[in-house]
Structure formats: C-alpha cells, structure tokens
Amino acid sequence: ILMGESRSNIIKLNVGGQYFATHRDTVTKSSHQCMLTSMFSGTFAEPGKDETGAYFIDRDPTHFRIILNFLRDGDVILPTDIYVLQEMLKEAEYYQVKELSVQIRSLIKQLQRDQKQQMTKEKDYKIVSDVVWTQISNEVLRMTREGYDFESWLGADTNDNSGIKKYHLLFSKRLSQGEVAMLDKITSNMF
C-alpha cells in the first residue's frame, strides 16, 4: 500500500485458491475493457468473497498472472509453446481481454506457420543429365539459386559421335514439414 492509500483501492483476489492482489485502477482502466473492469467498476455485481475477504473467481489460476500483468502494463512476454498459448487464449477470452486474445492468436498462427516451415530430414533429389564440362559451374550455380545443394557428379557414357564427355549432376534440397505433408497427400491420392 502506498503512503496515504486507502485499503479499498487494493483488491485481493482468490483465483481458484491462489491469492493475487492488485490496485483497483489496474482492473478498472478504460483502456482495457474486460470482465474484471465490469466487475469492479460497478457495471456488474462484484464476485462473492471467501472467508478471508478476497473476491473469489472460480478459475484455474495458472495463467491469471499473465492476465493481470497485461492489465497492469498493456503488454506481456508470451511463451512459445503452442499448447500453453492455447490455454492462455482460453483464459484471455474468459476474462474478455480482447487485446491479449488478439496477441495470443497472432502468435499461435505465426508459430504454426513456423512449424510447417521447419526443415525435416526428408530430401528432394534432382538429377541434371548430359552436362558438358564447361557448363557444370553454370548448372551448379542455377540449382543452388533454387535452393538445392550439390551432392555429386558422375561421368556419363556418350552415344553420340561428338566425343564430348558429359556428366550427370546430383542435387538435393531438404524439405519442410509442410512440403512433406503436401507430397504425402499428393502421393496418397495417386495410389
């Protein structure tokens, strides 16, 4: 309590058995309209109190700290675990903290996109055939620009009468999870 501050400005909350204390202004700020704002600004009836005089909210307290910190600061550092974020989103939506819900949804979508782009051990191989010696460096440059790595080369027999030695070049590119899923879908529809 700040010097000269009345106790009525401090709100004690019992969220699922865990106690939190905050300033009344934190939950009644007009910049963060939410369920708590309505409860403690007089729009709705305040929740019931427990035996200690704390307002009781029948919710899992695990992510309430994040909700409260967002109301205090207008921003929070969010985890990168999608499952935890989905739990937090459920709580942000329950408490009707719209700005936090939007941030969490956006991060979930970004992480899901990133997961699809993560590289797998699966590779796509390409063979460039019948390349003459003087064109090998051009073919390697072209394929590396397309994201392929040069793997190997092998001399090819020539059946033409030119006598010019030709080569087969092998390139590979690691596939993302999204590319593997797409190829799996295509091949499953083929058979």
The pLDDT of residue 45: 77
- Average pLDDT of each block of 10 consecutive residues along the chain (191 residues)? 58 95 87 84 83 94 95 92 94 94 94 78 84 89 87 76 82 82 78 61
| Rounded Cα distance, 17 and 179, in Å | 47
The pLDDT of residue 70: 94
The pLDDT of residue 5: 47
The pLDDT of residue 2: 46
Find the helix or strand (DSSP H, E) in which 92 lies: helix 82-94
The pLDDT of residue 1: 38
Q: Do strands 10-15 and 18-23 pair parallel, antiparallel, or not at all (unpaired)? A: antiparallel
